[in-house]
Amino acid sequence: MYADDETVRTILRESGDTWAVVGLSANEDRAAFGVARVLQRFGKRVVPVHPKAEPVHGERGYATLADIPFPVDVVDVFVNSRLAGPVADEAVAIGAKAVWFQLGVIDPEAYARTRAAGLAMVMDRCPAIEIPRLS
């Protein structure tokens, strides 16, 4: 409903290779940890964004999107739906090309704002599922 296969393909293949993963920590039991590893295997640079700003998968972590000192192509969001809208707004503010809300992360108003700002967006889907399905 909030992204067709063509939008998903475009984000995965053409939006760029630097993905900020909001909610990614060194906790191996969290879904973000495994999804980030899949993104890396697919050739993406994964930048952890988490209040602890800890390194994950060999990449330095940052506390916020605004702290990242280089361009980010896609912002992948692993936070609670009620916190996701402000993250999407930050993605727009830093000049990201796309926003990806993970499975269960749903905010229709944030989706509308992000699309209105000209960014591609996917909501309630997982790139670790979509990569093998659409490759």
Q: Tell me what pLDDT residue 134 has.
A: 82
Question: How many whole angstroms from its chain centre is CA 126?
Answer: 10
Q: Tell me what pLDDT residue 2 has.
A: 82
State how far the Cα of 115 lies from the Cα of 109, in Å rounded to an integer: 10
Beta bridge partners of 18: 45
The single-letter code of the amino acid at 129 is: I
Confidence of residue 35 (pLDDT cuts 50, 70, 90): very high
Helix (H, G, I), strand (E, B) or coil at 41: helix
Residue 1 pLDDT more than 80?
Answer: no
Torsion angles phi and psi, residue 34, rounded to 5: -70, -40
Both tokens assigned to 9:
């393909």
Is residue 126 within 8 A of residue 102, CB to CB? The reply is: yes
Residue 135 pLDDT more than 80?
Answer: no
Residue 123 pLDDT more than 90?
Answer: yes
Both tokens assigned to 13:
């293949």
